Amino acid sequence: VISFPPDPLKQGEHRIRVLWWYSEDEAFLFNQLPTYGVVTLEPDDKREFRRLRDTVPVVWANAGETRRTDSVDVQLVRFRAPADSGDVFVAADVPVSDLVRGIDLARGALRVDFEAFNWRAERVFRQSTEETLDFSRPEGKEVRSWSTRVPAGTFLYRVEALQPDAMRGARGASRIEIPVHTGFEVSDLLVAQTVAPKPGVVPARWSDFDIAPNLGRVRRGNPFALLWETYGLTPKDGTDRYAVAITFTRLQPSSGGLAGLAAKIIGGVASAVGLSKHGDNEVSLSFPRQAPARAVAVDYVTVDLGDAAPGTYALQLSITDEVTQQVSTRTGRITVIE
């Protein structure tokens, strides 16, 4: 912070100028009357100030690193919604045991916030939860999930967890793109531990399912679920006809030491249950679908990769409209862990 005395060449000028100069080479120049606690921006600096406010709303470079902030792994899945908007399902893996380690208390609070901002740093939405934890039995990580409707646009989202007694936090952040889409398309692909229709509900949309998220991490030998929606299919005789192809590709190809890859559908779409394929480093499960015509078709399957080797696998979902032969594809990844 640098203060400059009034300009002696300007008669009657009593204002001092105050310069805030940051190490990032960003600066603000103010006018101030002595003894007053109010400053105004230099006229020529107002446009630059607005630019900085919009593009760099906050900088934490001067905060130091005396307190460590853990990372929060986040899974975000988008589905189409009406009126130029999107439905967003978010799951976050909070490192609970790290946040409460060494606290000399039996119980305490954990607060988790999920919020998003537009490019002007204006909050678009916020959801918060606060719960009481038993510190004698903290779990290593605990998955929290939210769902919300977001207008079309580009937003920064942030998931933050805070244990206020120890003042320990964890954070995950990235960008949400909610495009305006019409016509034929498939949603993002949701990978979960389990997916099941809610009791007493005939599923019409993704929100009609109970979802136990796993952020794409699959324990070796355990099945997992995939959920997606297809939009804008072209009906024929009151029926939607489309083909589904789900492909798994090992990203660390076998060099003789890894067993072959096997995949089998064991739940979900009734006509696909029992379908299985084998391969060296890639397998594809394909099956036809036929259902009464609707604006949105929702599907899910439960998949077993058997004794697949630990590692990362690319996942591709392709939907082919059998009437128009249009194809829509979504990709993702799963990580098989021991």
Task: Convert 204-270 into a string of H (helix), E (strand) and C (coil).
Answer: CCHHHEEEEECCCEEECCCCEEEEEEEECCCCECCEEEEEEEEEEEECCCCCCCCCCEEEEEEEECH
**Average pLDDT of the segment spanning 312-321:** 97
- 13-26 pLDDT tens trace: 788 888 888 766 67
In which band, very low, low, confident or very high, does the pLDDT at 124 lie, cut at 50, 70 and 90?
A: confident
**Average pLDDT of the segment spanning 230-252:** 95
Q: What's the confidence (pLDDT) of residue 230?
A: 97
The structure tokens listed for 113 are 């916030």
**Residue 254 in this model has a pLDDT that exceeds 60:** no
Please tell me the least confidently modeled range out of 46-50, 142-146, 291-295, 319-323.
Answer: 46-50
Q: What's the confidence (pLDDT) of residue 168?
A: 86
CA distances 322 to 216, 301, 316, 328, Å, are 30, 20, 19, 12
Q: What's the confidence (pLDDT) of residue 181?
A: 79
- Other beta carbons less than 10 A from residue 132's beta carbon: 9
Percent of the chain, pLDDT > 90?
50
Please tell me the least confidently modeled range out of 191-205, 252-266, 315-329.
Answer: 252-266
Q: What's the confidence (pLDDT) of residue 222?
A: 95
Q: Whose CA is closest to 227, among 147, 158, 152, 153?
A: 147
Percent of the chain, pLDDT > 70?
93
- 175-207 pLDDT tens trace: 888 888 789 999 999 999 999 999 999 999 999
Q: Which of helix, strand or coil describes residue 310? A: coil
- Other beta carbons less than 10 A from residue 52's beta carbon: 16
Which range has the top average pLDDT, 80-84, 161-165, 286-290? 286-290
Q: What's the confidence (pLDDT) of residue 201?
A: 92
Residue linked to tokens 């077993």:
304
pTM for the structure as a whole: 0.76
H or E element that contains 180: none
- The whole-chain average pLDDT of the chain stands at 87
Q: Is 325 exposed, middle or buried (0-12, 13-18, 19+ CB in 10 A)?
A: exposed
Contact status, residue 169 vs residue 111, Cβ threshold 8 Å: no
Q: What's the confidence (pLDDT) of residue 65?
A: 54
Q: What's the confidence (pLDDT) of residue 138?
A: 60
- 49-76 pLDDT tens trace: 777 777 777 777 766 655 567 889 999 9
Residue linked to tokens 């740093």:
121
